[in-house]
Structure 1
Amino acid sequence: MTDELKAKFQALVEDAPEPTGLPSDAVFARIKTVRRRRTTGLVAGLATAAVATIALAAGNLTGIDSAPPVTETPNGPTPSAAAPTTTPTTTPKAPKPPIGGSVNTLSPEGGKTNESESSDTPPPEQPSSPKTEEPKAPPPVKVNLVLSNVTVNGLKASVQFRWTGSLLTPMKASEGTPIDAGSGLPENSFNFDYDYGDNHWNPDEGPTGKNGFGLTCDGANKRVSGSWSGRTQTHTYEKPGTYLFSYGITYCGPTGEIPIKKTIKITIKAPPPPTTP
């Protein structure tokens, strides 16, 4: 059947003329079939339009969590609500560490608690244990002797001397106790003497500190320190010449008697000849 014939037949069915005669049974059966098909197509079209309208309206509605609502399609499977998936546009970066300083936060009691100390704040000083200094050892028991400044006047001469250091006080041999002669070095020496070197000794010119008789250094433990200086008694030579002056000291030390001796030259010049008138 051509399209033109179909269109004429459809127009005839929609606006059929009044029958002038009694149609046959075949004509009535054909008319019923065409009407039934049109009615079914119209109903199906209306149902499809209604479902599309409802779906469009439901698509504009959102639930509490902004998820699309669940719709039911007649005579169709029950759709399941899919969870929305969101793709982050940027990757979150880890927070940068603080450059410096300290962060103060409030404690539950309302006060500030220091979470990180500044690098500029020095750590608290730990109490240091007291240092115990060992006592310094005393200097050794020793006497130093220096001779200087020889003075010559004609045949007469004298010498400058100086003692420095420390010694132990001698003990009395008969009593076993230290002597009580004073606090100076010469008074606590074992003995001392000097010689002008001309084999001429004058008792009036000798030293005054000879203490060696009746003394011992055994058991000596009393220490005396200091210095002493002076000049010897003036000595008169019998004739000009060069002489060796010597000064000797003996004192008590930890090991017993300790002698020392120093010398110096003395030159005596001949006097000038007398002038004649």
Structure 2
Amino acid sequence: MDVKSKILIIGGTGNIGKYVVEASAKAGHPTFALVRESTISDPKKAAIIESFKSLGVIFLHGDIHNHQQLVNAIKQVDIVISAVGGDLVAHQVKIIEAIKEAGNIKRFLPSEFGGDVDRVHAVEPAASLCRTKVEIRRAIEAEGIPYTYLVSNGFAGYLNYILNNFGDSGSASPPRDKIVILGDGNPKVVYTKEEDIAAYTIKVADDLRTLNKSLYISPPANTLSCNEIVSLWEKKIGKTLEKTYVPGDEVLKKIQEASMPLKLLLSLAYTVFVKG
């Protein structure tokens, strides 16, 4: 019987991380999650923690900012997957340093979960986030750490964001009367269910064909423009929506006027849905 690789997920209780932890455990890998003591006792994380426990996930207490805790955790596994959020992307240099010291890791997947940052031409502040991810890639390569970059493109969860006027509708449900579309609505975007992105993440982490390469998740049937998404929704509800198209220059103005985190979300939306 094949021995499954031991996998450590850092950022495992986050938006995409929780799916990666679940996919790893369900695939039969001994699965470890690096968590802070405060996370274990956080009532908001209780359901996720209990779910992980039921799957047999092993909790390692630690913090990305504690070098020795990182090294100790990494020495127990074969593969490290980072799913840290935007504010911690730059701090992945600490993971790189710990992996280098531990000396036992067969593969590292940094936190990507989006477009190919070596090819994306974003506007600020999204551009800074992309540059940081590029710097992390180059640091991994410079240290000779075995890697895979998973280019997952868009999450299926973005669809509700789009239909809800890019988070500005104040509703949790898609519209039934009118909708706002950024740009002309024609650029195509790939959307993949978060559970499927997580499943791909675990599969590529242990596949020799993806060693030191980028893997793109790009199912043709999941590649749609905003106009096509709205059209599908209109067919489903049997009603034509009133559409308002926001020109690119107006979106740029909104980015300039917005505060974080809306500024970042709008800059990402402009990069993806207006520039394409």
Q: TM-score range by the shorter chain?
A: under 0.3
Greater relative CO (CA pairs within 8 A, separation 6+): 2
Using the size of structure 1 for normalisation, the TM-score is 0.18
Which structure's CA Rg is the greater one? 1
Q: More helix per residue: 1 or 2?
A: 2
